[in-house]
């Protein structure tokens, strides 16, 4: 990689590190993993021969962060049970409620990570990042209908996992 | 819980997650740390100077994007004022080349988008041009989505074939084809599914009346969704089928077409005549075409589903059984001190009776609940049930460990095994044994020459014959010489770290002098002990075997080099299905050893020197001395049609090895003229790839010399990709899957490693075929990894597996296949044909 490309990386990092971290934080649920993902995404970027950031750097980095985060969650999901309460801005809820909320979040995170890569990415983009079906369709290069179908199936599976947990 | 409530919960949870903001300070701190690490990764690039026009021109895109530092910006602007070629390059970059403008215009989109694009052209820097162009690439419509693609599945394009995989979209007008052993399931936009058999081809078209599937050849099964507006049509060369909502199959070949209806109704139109087909009915267009029983017509699809169901249930069952708790690790043994001084074999087993009986109960319960499993396991075996009951009972009476030992007798041969266990409930055990009719002695002096079962206050000893019994019993535990031996000390070491299953052999004393001589050439004559153990730690099963030597390893045993960083493995991607690597000591020393071993065979030396003389090569000089000790092999990529094998070899002298290879090809062509091997080379991105292929085609070996290694693979593309993996750092060694599977020896270096991840092969299939999350968990099964570490005087082999006790688990005892076999079965099911 040339000097000029490394300047670009630096600029990208400065502009987007917060976003990448936030995306990763939402999916992995803790700051240590989010940091891991931040590093992985930019390290990979810096190792590429050619930088191709279509359709836009923000979207590309977002997706890279999502995929790296899902990979990380998947690789850890066998050993992680319930995360220790992280430092995060929460409501004034009691510890029990907070704990329960945390448990549910972990279930949802793991359920998402257990979906197929594409479906998981879609769910994250829609429900964690708030993109619309149209935007997602554009970013992934397919039609809205296909997105809707995949989202529907993904949601059904997550619902199932949630249902199982809530019955217990 | 009602669906709506669950939905609400899900919405609430995702909203919480969305609203969670990581603490600002945490993010800043993390970013700082990461940036430091990144900066460290590319220190050299930051010092580079701009030396010539090429460097300046490389800066242009970033200048236009606005990300050049002010210093460099000034330099560039200054330079382009003076330098005409660079000025022109900048101008071109700003305004775009003529053919670029052409491409954009030939896209088919609305006027509004054209206006926006024009605005972008004019007002923004042309640095955005590449981004804009890519954006417009993504607006073609997709009419169907590939849900499952197995084997050869592709779409035919002008310049060839494009492989289709799950998740890819297919547009109207695109030809979808399956080759030999291919199969696919596609979902159309309206929800209908089309399942394709091998060697089939169809095109989707859309017209005002509805959607048409033009089947060109082969077999498809269509599950048509309710057609609210219009109809779904399937046409072949000679007939038309129109549907409103049904499941039917259409087969079309050179002899004609055959339509079979499975459910719903279908209007079949052929040779100007219309006919309505009801479920179970079939129509053919040519009289030459046989009517085929409906069942067989769809057999290639139905069997697969049923089989998959079975496999997923087996895997769930296996996993549940693996979760049954196992006894805790033992840090000491009350039995080891009972063994005599000349003990040469020691096996310690945890008391698994509880685990076994619980597993069996679980097994019985699940089988009774599932007809699929019942079919597989056959009638309930009452013998097993009885046996399990007895195991449970006996298990309750004895302690937490069962030891099998064997010592040397007077003739210095190991006698038969005897079994010893602590007794918890002497009376209970005595009653049980007499109820079963087993003769028990309470005084060792009463031992006979046959089988003896001695029940003392604390122990139960079972010996197959009198000699063995006496060998153990005839000494005082207080002065057991065994405790003074090295073998004993080694075994105690294992206990001190927590023991599960132990198998230990005092090899040095076990083998006779004559055996030792035979093993000398193999280097195994100075083996001291062999100790293998297995235990459950944190839900994983740790297996470890250590072979210790009296002094430095020699002979074959010394071929494996001490643990070293495996540079050769950097050419393997994290998605590899199979990878093996090892480091050997100097290959020339190895070669000498091997020669020494082989030259004991008659005439070998002569044959070898004849061969070398004839072709003017010296194996040692031209091949062995030019390679290093690192070697890796992997299957990394699609398995069909040809496995994507690759091999990486450390090379000291690439030039010499290349000429040796050339000489070999010539030699082979001379000896075996029919082979007609051709050696060619091609250049890509600065990489020279050689190809050896028989002239008439067929499999080829492609290789390149790069970075001190020879990288060989089944195709040039694979060789290129292997080199890219290493460059990008996207390698197996760094994948979380690999590191998670490492035995916790702490070391990142090995002497040899074997890694297997069949799950990677199956996951794209598993997720799309069956909605059951169970199939997905099969695909998520952990890979297995076996690592060997060869030190000066010992070799350690360690592996983490997911089996239960004994690496097999209780499930295996009931006739269930293990995880790896399940995965193999699954793969077989996916490619099952009629």
Of the pLDDT bands very low, low, confident and very high (cuts 50, 70, 90), residue B828 is low
* Window from A131-135, B235-239, B460-464 with minimum mean pLDDT: B235-239
Render pLDDT for B553-577 as a digit per residue (tens, 0 to 9). Answer: 776 677 888 888 888 888 998 888 8
Render pLDDT for B190-227 as a digit per residue (tens, 0 to 9). Answer: 888 888 888 888 988 876 556 788 888 888 888 887 76
* Window from B200-204, B292-296, B615-619 with minimum mean pLDDT: B292-296
Render pLDDT for B364-416 as a digit per residue (tens, 0 to 9). Answer: 888 888 877 777 666 656 677 777 788 788 888 888 898 888 887 766 666 77
Does residue B534 have a pLDDT over 50? yes
Does residue B337 have a pLDDT over 50? yes
The residue to which tokens 């769910």 are assigned: A123
Does residue B701 have a pLDDT over 80? yes
Does residue B105 have a pLDDT over 60? no
Asked whether B342 and B488 are in contact (CB, 8 A), the reply is: no
Residue B569 token pair: 């493995």
- In this prediction, residue B426 carries a pLDDT of 84
Asked whether B42 and A6 are in contact (CB, 8 A), the reply is: yes
Q: What is the DSSP string of B610-675?
A: HHHHHHT--IIIIIGGGEEEEEEEEE-S--SSS--EEEEEEES-HHHHHHHHHHHHHHHHHH-TTT
Which residues of chain B have a CB within 8 Å of the CB of A168?
Answer: none
The residue to which tokens 């000699």 are assigned: B467
- In this prediction, residue B447 carries a pLDDT of 72
Mean pLDDT of A114-138: 86
- For B93, the 3-state DSSP assignment is helix
Residue from A1, A2, A3 whose CB has the most chain B CBs within 10 Å, to mutate:
A3
* Window from B39-48, B128-137, B308-317, B515-524 with minimum mean pLDDT: B128-137
Across A128-142, B597-611, B699-713, B798-812, which has the greatest mean pLDDT? B699-713
Q: Cα–Cα distance between B46 and B734 in angstroms, integer?
A: 26
Does residue A89 have a pLDDT over 50? no
The rounded Cα B601 to chain-centroid distance in angstroms is 40
CB contact under 8 A, A35 and B30: yes
To 5 degrees, how large is the angle CA B140–CA B145–CA B149?
130
Q: Cα–Cα distance between B760 and B741 in angstroms, integer?
A: 14
> Where are the alpha helices (H) located in B672-757, listed in sequence order?
716-728, 736-741
CB contact under 8 A, B7 and A159: yes
Q: Cα–Cα distance between A135 and B498 in angstroms, integer?
A: 56
Q: Cα–Cα distance between B519 and B228 in angstroms, integer?
A: 79
B206: left (phi over 0), alpha (psi -120 to 50) or beta: beta
Q: Cα–Cα distance between B67 and A12 in angstroms, integer?
A: 9
Does residue B102 have a pLDDT over 60? no
Mean pLDDT of B426-444: 81
- In this prediction, residue B581 carries a pLDDT of 92
Q: Cα–Cα distance between B493 and B531 in angstroms, integer?
A: 11
Which residues of chain A have a CB within 8 Å of the CB of B9?
Answer: 104, 162, 166
- In this prediction, residue B43 carries a pLDDT of 39
To 5 degrees, how large is the angle CA B49–CA B53–CA B56?
60
Task: Say how many CB pairs under 8 Å bridge A and B.
Answer: 197
Q: Which of B130, B728, B763 sits opposite A47 (nearest CB)?
A: B728
Q: Cα–Cα distance between B13 and B801 in angstroms, integer?
A: 35
Q: What is the DSSP string of B475-489?
A: S-GGG-GGGGSHHHH
Asked whether B55 and B72 are in contact (CB, 8 A), the reply is: no
Residue B121 token pair: 């052209």
Of the pLDDT bands very low, low, confident and very high (cuts 50, 70, 90), residue B98 is very low
B68 inside 8 A of chain A by CB: yes
Select from B333, B415, B318, B299 the least CA-distant residue to B376: B318
* H helix or E strand, kind and range, residue B64: helix B53-65
Secondary structure in 3-state letters for chain A:
CCHHHHHHHHHHHHHHHHHHHHHHHHHHCCHHHHHHHHHHHHHHHHHCCCCCCCCCHHHHHHHHHHHHHHHHHHHHCCCCCCCCCCCECCCCCCHHHHHHHHHHHHHHHHHHHCCCHHHHHHHHHHHHCCCCHHHHHHHHCCCHHHHHHHHHHHHHHHHHHHHHHHHC
Of the pLDDT bands very low, low, confident and very high (cuts 50, 70, 90), residue B44 is very low
Does residue B111 have a pLDDT over 70? no
Cα dihedral B445, B448, B450, B452, rounded to 10, equals -40
- Nearest chain A residue to B685 by CA: give it: A49
Mean pLDDT of B105-128: 47
Q: Nearest-CA distance from B772 to chain A in Å?
A: 8
List beta partners, residue B175: B156, B203
Of the pLDDT bands very low, low, confident and very high (cuts 50, 70, 90), residue B11 is confident
Q: Environment class of residue B10 by beta-carbon count within 10 Å: exposed (0-12), middle (13-18) or buried (19+)?
A: buried
B37 inside 8 A of chain A by CB: yes
CB contact under 8 A, B169 and A142: yes
Of the pLDDT bands very low, low, confident and very high (cuts 50, 70, 90), residue B804 is very low
- In this prediction, residue B762 carries a pLDDT of 58
Of the pLDDT bands very low, low, confident and very high (cuts 50, 70, 90), residue A21 is very high
Q: Cα–Cα distance between B659 and B650 in angstroms, integer?
A: 16
Q: Nearest-CA distance from A94 to chain B in Å?
A: 16
Mean pLDDT of A86-93: 45
Q: Nearest-CA distance from A127 to chain B in Å?
A: 6
By percentage, how much of chain B surpasses pLDDT 70? 73
* H helix or E strand, kind and range, residue B94: helix B84-95
Of the pLDDT bands very low, low, confident and very high (cuts 50, 70, 90), residue A93 is low
Does residue B345 have a pLDDT over 80? yes
Of the pLDDT bands very low, low, confident and very high (cuts 50, 70, 90), residue B287 is low
Does residue B100 have a pLDDT over 70? no
The residue to which tokens 């990709």 are assigned: B721
Q: Cα–Cα distance between B52 and B77 in angstroms, integer?
A: 14
Q: Which of A6, A53, A155 sits opposite B42 (nearest CB)?
A: A6
- In this prediction, residue B767 carries a pLDDT of 46
- CB-CB neighbours of B486 under 10 Å: 12
List Cα–Cα distances, B742 to A27, B296, B568, B787, in angstroms. 26, 47, 18, 8
Phi, psi angle pair for B138, to nearest 5°: -95, 25
Residue B74 token pair: 């000034």
Q: Tell me, what DSSP letter sits at residue B744?
A: T
Asked whether B210 and B233 are in contact (CB, 8 A), the reply is: yes
B230 inside 8 A of chain A by CB: no
By percentage, how much of chain A surpasses pLDDT 90? 6
List Cα–Cα distances, B88 to B82, B96, B97, in angstroms. 11, 12, 12
- In this prediction, residue B648 carries a pLDDT of 94
To 5 degrees, how large is the angle CA A92–CA A96–CA A100?
100
Q: Cα–Cα distance between B393 and B720 in angstroms, integer?
A: 63
ipTM score over 0.90, yes or no:
no
Mean pLDDT of B673-692: 83
Asked whether B356 and B391 are in contact (CB, 8 A), the reply is: yes
Render pLDDT for B249-284 as a digit per residue (tens, 0 to 9). Answer: 787 876 678 887 777 778 887 777 778 887 777 787
Q: Cα–Cα distance between B216 and B155 in angstroms, integer?
A: 13
Q: Cα–Cα distance between A23 and A45 in angstroms, integer?
A: 17
Of the pLDDT bands very low, low, confident and very high (cuts 50, 70, 90), residue B768 is very low
- What's the predicted TM-score (pTM) here? 0.48
CB contact under 8 A, B42 and A142: no
Q: Cα–Cα distance between B401 and B460 in angstroms, integer?
A: 12
Render pLDDT for B153-163 as a digit per residue (tens, 0 to 9). Answer: 888 877 778 88
Does residue A79 have a pLDDT over 50? no
Of the pLDDT bands very low, low, confident and very high (cuts 50, 70, 90), residue A96 is confident
List Cβ neighbours of B807 (8 Å cut-off, separation of 6 or more).
Answer: B534, B541, B543, B801
Render pLDDT for A23-53 as a digit per residue (tens, 0 to 9). Answer: 999 888 888 889 989 998 988 887 776 767 7
Of the pLDDT bands very low, low, confident and very high (cuts 50, 70, 90), residue B298 is low
Does residue B715 have a pLDDT over 80? yes
- Nearest chain A residue to B65 by CA: give it: A8
CB contact under 8 A, A55 and B135: yes
Secondary structure in 3-state letters for B534-545:
EEEECCEEEEEE
Asked whether B186 and B165 are in contact (CB, 8 A), the reply is: no
Residue from B2, B18, B27, B93 whose CB has the most chain A CBs within 10 Å, to mutate:
B27
* H helix or E strand, kind and range, residue B547: strand B540-549
Residue B604 token pair: 């070998």
B18 inside 8 A of chain A by CB: yes
Asked whether B343 and B418 are in contact (CB, 8 A), the reply is: no
Q: What is the DSSP string of B170-230?
A: E-TT-EEEE-TT-EEEEEETTS-EEEE-SS-EEEEEEETTEEEEEEEEEEEEEEPPP-SSS
Q: Tell me, what DSSP letter sits at residue B66?
A: T
Write out residues 730-769 of B within 8 Å (CB-CB) of A: 730, 736-737, 740, 763-764, 767-768
- For B105, the 3-state DSSP assignment is helix
């Amino acid at each position: 990689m040339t000097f000029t490309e490394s300047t670009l990386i630096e600029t990208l990092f400065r502009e987007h590190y917060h976003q990448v971290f936030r995306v990763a934080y939402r999916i992995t649920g803790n700051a240590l993993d989010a940091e891991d993902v931040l590093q992985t995404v930019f390290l990979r970027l810096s190792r590429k021969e050619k930088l191709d950031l279509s359709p836009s750097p923000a979207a590309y980095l977002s997706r890279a962060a999502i995929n790296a985060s899902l990979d990380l969650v998947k690789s850890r999901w066998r050993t992680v049970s319930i995360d220790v309460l992280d430092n995060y801005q929460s409501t004034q809820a009691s510890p029990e409620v907070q704990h329960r909320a945390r448990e549910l979040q972990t279930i949802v995170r793991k359920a998402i990570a257990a979906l197929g890569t594409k479906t998981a990415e879609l769910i994250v983009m829609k429900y964690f990042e708030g993109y619309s079906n149209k935007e997602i369709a554009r970013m992934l290069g397919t039609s809205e209908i296909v997105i809707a179908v995949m989202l529907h199936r993904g949601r059904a599976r997550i619902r199932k996992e949630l249902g199982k947990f809530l019955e217990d | 819980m009602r669906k709506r409530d669950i939905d609400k919960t899900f919405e609430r949870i995702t909203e919480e997650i969305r609203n969670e903001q990581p603490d600002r300070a945490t993010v800043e701190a993390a970013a700082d740390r990461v940036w430091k690490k990144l900066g460290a990764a590319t220190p050299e690039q930051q010092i580079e100077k701009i030396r010539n026009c090429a460097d300046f021109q490389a800066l242009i895109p970033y200048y236009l994007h606005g990300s050049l530092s002010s210093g460099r910006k000034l330099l560039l602007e200054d330079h382009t004022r003076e330098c005409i070629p660079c000025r022109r390059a900048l101008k071109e970059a700003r305004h775009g080349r003529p053919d670029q403008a052409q491409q954009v215009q030939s896209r088919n989109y609305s006027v509004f988008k054209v206006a926006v694009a024009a605005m972008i052209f004019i007002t923004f820097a042309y640095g955005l041009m590449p981004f804009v162009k890519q954006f417009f690439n993504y607006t073609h419509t997709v009419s169907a989505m590939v849900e499952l693609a197995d084997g050869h599945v592709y779409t035919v394009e002008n310049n060839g074939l494009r492989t289709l995989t799950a998740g890819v979209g297919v547009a109207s007008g695109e030809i979808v084809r399956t080759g030999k052993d291919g199969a696919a399931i596609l979902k159309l936009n309206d929800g209908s599914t089309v399942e394709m058999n091998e060697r089939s081809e169809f095109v989707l078209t859309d017209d005002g009346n509805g959607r048409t599937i033009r089947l060109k050849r082969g077999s498809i099964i269509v599950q048509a969704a309710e057609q609210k507006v219009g109809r779904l049509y399937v046409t072949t060369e000679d007939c038309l089928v129109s549907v409103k909502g049904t499941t039917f199959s259409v087969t079309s070949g050179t002899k004609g077409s055959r339509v079979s209806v499975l459910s719903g109704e279908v209007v079949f139109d052929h040779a100007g005549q219309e006919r309505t087909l009801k479920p179970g009915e079939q129509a053919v267009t040519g009289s030459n075409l046989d009517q085929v029983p409906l069942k067989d017509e769809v057999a290639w699809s139905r069997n697969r589903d049923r089989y998959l169901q079975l496999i997923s249930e087996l895997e769930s069952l296996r996993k549940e059984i693996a979760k049954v708790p196992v006894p805790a690790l033992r840090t000491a043994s009350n039995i080891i001190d009972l063994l005599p001084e000349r003990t040469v074999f020691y096996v310690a087993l945890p008391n698994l009776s509880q685990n076994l009986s619980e597993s069996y109960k679980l097994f019985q319960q699940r089988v009774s609940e599932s007809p699929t499993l019942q079919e597989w396991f056959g009638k309930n075996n009452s013998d097993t049930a009885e046996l399990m009951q007895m195991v449970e009972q006996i298990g309750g009476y004895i302690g937490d460990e069962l030891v099998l030992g064997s010592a040397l007798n007077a003739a210095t041969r190991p006698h038969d095994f005897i079994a010893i266990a602590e007794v918890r409930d002497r009376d209970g055990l005595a009653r049980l044994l007499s109820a079963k009719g087993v003769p028990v002695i309470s005084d060792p002096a009463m031992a006979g020459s046959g089988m003896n079962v001695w029940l003392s206050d604390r122990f139960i000893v079972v010996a197959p014959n009198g000699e063995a019994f006496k060998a153990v019993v005839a000494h005082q535990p207080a002065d057991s010489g065994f405790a003074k031996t090295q073998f004993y000390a080694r075994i105690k070491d294992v206990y001190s770290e927590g023991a599960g299953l132990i198998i230990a052999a005092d090899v040095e004393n076990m083998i006779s002098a004559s055996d030792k001589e035979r093993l000398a050439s193999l280097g195994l004559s100075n083996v001291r002990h062999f100790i293998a153990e297995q235990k459950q730690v944190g839900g994983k099963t740790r297996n470890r075997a250590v072979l210790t030597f009296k002094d430095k390893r020699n002979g074959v045993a010394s071929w494996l080099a001490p643990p070293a960083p495996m540079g050769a493995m950097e050419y393997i991607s994290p998605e590899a299905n199979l990878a093996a690597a090892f480091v050997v000591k100097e290959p020339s020393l190895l070669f000498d050893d091997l020669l020494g071993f082989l030259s004991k065979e008659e005439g070998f030396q002569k044959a070898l020197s004849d061969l070398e003389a004839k072709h003017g090569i010296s194996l040692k000089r031209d091949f062995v001395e030019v390679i290093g000790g690192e070697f890796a092999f992997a299957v990394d990529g699609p398995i069909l049609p040809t496995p994507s094998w690759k091999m990486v070899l450390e090379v000291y002298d690439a030039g010499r090895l290349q000429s040796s290879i050339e000489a070999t090809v010539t030699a082979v062509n001379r000896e075996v003229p029919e082979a007609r091997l051709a050696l060619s080379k091609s250049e890509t991105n600065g990489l020279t790839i050689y190809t050896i292929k028989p002239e008439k085609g067929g499999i080829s070996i492609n290789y390149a010399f790069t970075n001190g290694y020879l990288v060989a693979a089944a195709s040039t593309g694979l060789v290129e990709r292997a080199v890219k993996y290493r460059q990008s750092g996207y390698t197996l060694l760094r994948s979380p899957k690999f590191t998670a599977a490492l035995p916790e020896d702490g070391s990142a270096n090995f002497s040899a490693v074997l890694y297997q991840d069949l799950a990677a092969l199956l996951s794209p299939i598993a997720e799309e075929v069956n909605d059951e999350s169970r199939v997905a968990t099969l695909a998520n099964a952990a890979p297995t990894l076996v690592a060997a570490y060869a030190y000066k005087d010992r070799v350690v082999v360690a592996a983490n597996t997911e089996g239960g006790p004994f690496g097999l688990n209780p499930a295996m005892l009931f006739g269930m296949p293990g995880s790896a076999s399940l995965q193999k079965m699954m793969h077989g099911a996916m490619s099952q044909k009629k």
